[in-house]
Chains A and B, each alone.
Chain A
Amino acid sequence: MERIPILKLGAFLLVTIQIDLYDRLALHLEEDLVAMVEKKSVKGVLIDISAVGIVDSFMGRILGNIGSMCKLLDAETVVVGMQPAVAITLVELGLPLKGVYTALNVDKGMELLRSKIEIEDTIGDDYDDDTSPN
């Protein structure tokens, strides 16, 4: 059974989709990812779809769903590296992925996730800064 690997990188999860997602694979990814977010209590999920050339409405919906689900589990989702053709298709399908953040590449996505989590942490008081003495 083919599965898409989910890597843990610090406080984030990193998913790189290297093959065209078919429906069952996408459903498995959704399931695994949500379980992993809960288990490892991660703060952010980064999904790299730069190698994906074809999307359909199902895949668009799955991406949106992952975003909403992670939000419920208090994690931000960033989709990075979308191809122009994919972006145009999603817009034409009427799926502007409202629940997820987007970034151009993994670098910028990471930066975005970090800034989002920083903002959240400065709002919440229960954050222990590693660099500060107290």
Chain B
Amino acid sequence: MAHTLNNKKSEILELWMKNQLADSGLRDDLISNKDLRVQSEELVNALITNLNDNNINNSQSPDFDKVTELLGGISISRARQGFSPRETGNFILTLKEALLEILRQEPSDVNVLFEESLKLSRLLDNFTILTFETFIKGREEVILRQTDEITDISTPVIKVWDGILAMPIIGTLDSARTQVVMENLLQKIVETGSSIAILDISGVPAVDSLVAQHLLKTVSATRLMGADCIISGIRPEIAQTIVHLGIDLSQIITKASLAGALQYAFKSLRLEVKRSALEVNGIANIQ
């Protein structure tokens, strides 16, 4: 059988390509037909060349190392490109159909044909499973990387004015996050010599007693460093929850909006924001 398939390599490729292109789930927006053909050709070559009557029952055989490697690369790249599991699965399943079709064209005994189809199916199924495993692993890598990125980007410290830092907190504050938030903020206070830090919690979906405790800790640590900490962006619902839970935030300066906090910061640094005379004239002229 291996011999037959080896002779019909190009036919298999053509049939497989036809199957793939006919498939309604073809993603020509993600991969060009040319690239798909190159990938398919490589895989068919690797599979058919290494296939013989001895290793057809053993997908783990070292003969298939090249195939495994190719499949792994293809599934990982597909996971990253955003292919769905069905589309990735179809890639290898259409190959199976093509191979069985070629086998059927060979004149042989029904029993023999059945045996051979079974073997071939089993081998290809194993490869499908492998593809899926790698595909999922690729997706998990993407998710892990994104988790890291989210933790990194969600705790930026912004210098809003000379001596004033602001830190918008997005997402729920847990112990690990608080640690990162606190360290970033304190480090930045040392670096910039700022005397006021504003913690904006408008992006925090809910405040429970634990989150409040974390906030209090951050405020205490900031105070120990010699800076004042203002909490801003307290939404009405959050204010309600805080009072209902009986959390005492009276020692902390709290403001409803970042603007309010900034105003307070300017006041305590004895700064004033004034509209310049020129601009007043400009507005008057427009009117």
Contacts and interface: CB of A to CB of B under 8 A. Distances in A.
B224 interface: yes
Given A104-B189, A104-B195, A108-B195, A88 B221 contact: yes
Contact of A104 (B182, B187, B225): B225
A84 B186 CA distance: 5
Given A88-B182, A91-B220, A102 B226 contact: yes
A87 B193 contact: no
Contact of A105 (B186, B193, B222): B193
A81 B179 CA distance: 20
Contacts of B179: 88
B195 A102 contact: no
Interface in B165-193: 179, 182-183, 186-187, 189-190, 193
Nearest to B227: A104
A84 B226 contact: no
Interface string A8-27: 00000000000000000000
Interface residues of B, number: 19
A97 B224 contact: yes
A84 B190 contact: yes
B223 interface: yes
Contact of B221 (A79, A91, A103, A109): A91
A101 to B, nearest CB: 8
A80 interface: yes
Contact of B224 (A87, A105, A108): A87
Interface string A75-119: 000011111101110111000110000111100110000000000
Contact of B186 (A87, A102, A103, A109): A87
A88 B224 CA distance: 9
B267 interface: no
Contacts of A103: 226
A79 B226 CA distance: 8
Interface string B123-142: 00000000000000000000
Contacts of B187: 84
A27 B225 CA distance: 23
A84 B225 contact: yes
A91 B217 contact: yes
A75 B235 CA distance: 41
Interface in A54-93: 79-84, 86-88, 90-92
Contacts of A91: 217, 220-221, 224
Contacts of A86: 224
A112 to B, nearest CB: 8
B223 A102 contact: yes
A91 to B, nearest CB: 5
Nearest to B185: A84
B193 A88 contact: no
A109 B224 contact: no
B225 A90 contact: no
Given A84-B190, A87-B186, A88-B186, A108 B226 contact: yes
21 contacts: A79-B224, A81-B226, A84-B182, A84-B183, A84-B190, A87-B186, A87-B224, A87-B225, A88-B179, A88-B183, A88-B186, A91-B220, A91-B221, A96-B220, A96-B224, A102-B223, A102-B224, A104-B193, A104-B226, A104-B227, A109-B226
Interface of A: 79-84, 86-88, 90-92, 96-97, 102-105, 108-109
Given A91-B220, A91-B221, 15 more contacts: A79-B226, A80-B226, A84-B182, A84-B186, A84-B190, A84-B221, A87-B224, A91-B217, A92-B217, A97-B224, A103-B226, A104-B189, A104-B193, A104-B226, A109-B226
